[in-house]
């Protein structure tokens, strides 16, 4: 499919609408020399690593290691590397948790989570993406209102490169069907009421009737890290 598509982003984006994630990844790998996938080890990210590795695509992999991920997430990170024989690079903030505490006060996530996400996620991501022409994400349209208008291929104005979202049209059931069909490793916290997993201090379990992302920054006026779109606020 890659050979049949135009290389300019808007045309390719239209042509890839409806393509499978594997087809989109193959196109992206052929189109961009400096291409990376940034994973947060959600269920979708595990699917993406499975697709990339099984297709043998030479795509860089990294994660933002904020220093306060769950132990289960660090364990999954190693499990994925062993299972697929890949290296998932760690991209870390300039400040350790201790240094951030000294500079900004302890537990900044409790007092100013936007500032904490900026220091520990957005700034490191911006610096890392400056080395690449395009990045792949695992976002899906149905995850949040902010992601509902995401395209398969789009220009990322925030970080200044092309953004590719192969799973954008997938449902949660599609993700889990792929995981079970291909025995993809996933975070064991998903079986304990954590459908969406971020940093440990800012993630709680959700009830069966809650939105899957209700456990992210629970009680705070915040729904996104600021990595994918401008921050949207929770409705009152
Ligand atoms: S999710 Fe929480 S701990 Fe992690 S960077 Fe954002 S505010 Fe800080």
pLDDT computed for residue 203 by the predictor: 96
Which tokens in the block code for residue 72?
């289960």
Taking the centre of ligand 1 as the mean of its atom positions, its distance from the CA of residue 39, in whole angstroms, is 16
In angstroms, the CA 159 to CA 111 distance is 26
Kindly give the confidence (pLDDT) of every residue in the chain, 236 residues in length, as a single tens digit, with 9 standing for 90 and above.
Answer: 544 455 678 888 889 999 999 999 999 999 999 999 999 999 999 999 999 999 999 999 999 999 999 999 999 999 999 999 999 999 999 999 999 999 999 999 999 999 999 999 999 999 999 999 999 999 999 988 889 999 999 999 999 999 999 999 999 999 999 999 999 999 999 999 999 999 999 999 999 899 888 899 888 777 777 777 544 444 33
Of all protein residues, whose CA lies closest to atom 4 belonging to ligand 1?
Answer: 199
Whether 68 lines ligand 1, by a CB cut-off of 6 Å, is yes
pLDDT computed for residue 7 by the predictor: 66
Q: Report CA torsion sign: 211, 69, 181, 138.
A: positive
3-state DSSP assignment of residue 197: coil
pLDDT computed for residue 157 by the predictor: 93
Taking the centre of ligand 1 as the mean of its atom positions, its distance from the CA of residue 78, in whole angstroms, is 22
pLDDT computed for residue 3 by the predictor: 45
pLDDT computed for residue 145 by the predictor: 86
Q: Which residues are catalytically annotated? A: 225
Q: Which residue has the tokens 């132990």?
A: 71
DSSP state of 107: -
Whether 202 lines ligand 1, by a CB cut-off of 6 Å, is yes
Sheet holding 161-164, edge to edge: 89-91, 60-64, 35-38, 134-136, 161-164, 153-156
DSSP 72-102: HHHHHHHHHHHHHT---EEE--SS-HHHHHH
- Helical ranges in 130-200 per DSSP H: 172-182
Whether 64 lines ligand 1, by a CB cut-off of 6 Å, is no
Helix (H) or strand (E) holding 164: strand 161-164
Whether 21 lines ligand 1, by a CB cut-off of 6 Å, is no
In angstroms, the CA 96 to CA 140 distance is 31
pLDDT computed for residue 228 by the predictor: 75
């Amino acid at each position: 499919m890659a050979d049949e598509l135009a290389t300019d982003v808007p045309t390719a984006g239209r042509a890839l609408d409806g393509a499978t994630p594997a087809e989109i990844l193959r196109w992206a790998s052929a189109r961009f020399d400096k291409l990376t996938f940034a994973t947060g080890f959600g269920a979708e990210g595990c699917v993406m690593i499975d697709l990339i590795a099984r297709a043998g695509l030479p795509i860089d992999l990294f994660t933002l290691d904020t220093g306060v991920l769950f132990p289960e997430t660090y364990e999954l990170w190693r499990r994925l590397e062993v299972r697929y024989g890949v290296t998932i690079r760690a991209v870390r903030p300039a400040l350790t948790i201790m240094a951030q505490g000294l500079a900004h006060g302890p537990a900044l996530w409790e007092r100013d989570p936007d500032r904490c996400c900026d220091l520990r996620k957005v700034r490191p991501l911006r610096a890392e993406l400056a080395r690449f022409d395009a990045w792949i994400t695992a976002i899906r349209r149905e995850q949040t209102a902010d992601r509902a208008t995401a395209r398969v291929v789009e220009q990322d104005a925030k970080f200044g490169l092309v953004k590719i979202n192969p799973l954008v049209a997938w449902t949660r059931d599609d993700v889990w069907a792929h995981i079970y069909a291909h025995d993809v490793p996933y975070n064991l916290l998903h079986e304990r009421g954590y459908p969406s997993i971020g940093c440990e201090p800012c993630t709680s379990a959700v009830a069966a009737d809650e939105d899957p992302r209700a456990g992210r920054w629970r009680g705070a006026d915040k729904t996104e890290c600021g990595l994918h779109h401008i921050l949207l606020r929770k409705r009152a």
